[in-house]
Amino acid sequence: MLGTKGQEIFKNAVMKSNRKAMDGIKLIKKDKTAVENVFSKIRYIFNHYAEQGDKQKKEAYEQVKAQFAEKLQQAMQQQMGTNARTEVNVEQHPQFQEEWRKTLVRLDTQYIQHITEYKHALLAIN
C-alpha cells in the first residue's frame, strides 16, 4: 500500500493525466459548452471520490467487520453452546475477505456508473 506521500504523488499524476485527456477531447469537439458541462459533472465525481471515497470505505469496512463478527459468533455459539466466546480474527477469515471485496465492488460501481454515463454523453456531443 502506498504511504501518504506516495498517494499524493499518484493522485497528482492521475489528475494531470485526466486534465490532458479532457484538453484533448475539448480540441476535437465542436460544442465546447456541452463538453464543459459534462466535464464539470466528471470533476464533481472525481472530487467526491477523492474526498469521500476513503471515508465511505472505512465506514463500510467497519460495518462489514462488525456484521461478520456477529454472524460468526452466533454460529460458534450454536455449535459450541450459548456460553462459547472465542476470539477469532475476523479480518483473516476468507468469507469476510470475500464479503469485503463484494462491498468494495458495490461502492466503486456507483462511481463507475456515473462516469460511464458521462462518457456516453461525451460521445454524443458534436
Structural domain includes residue 106: yes
pLDDT at 59: 94
Structural domain span for residue 58? 30-124
Single out the residue of 50, 41, 46 nearest to residue 18, CA to CA. Answer: 46
pLDDT at 49: 87
Query: How does DSSP classify residue 103?
Result: H
pLDDT at 89: 84
Structural domain includes residue 107: yes
Reported as a single tens digit per residue, the pLDDT across 1-10 is 556 787 788 8
Number of structural domains the chain divides into: 1
Structural domain includes residue 15: no
Rounded-to-integer distance, Cα 29 and Cα 126, Å: 6
| pTM of this structure | 0.70
Structural domain includes residue 77: yes
Q: What angle do CA 62, 64, 51 make, to 5 degrees?
A: 55
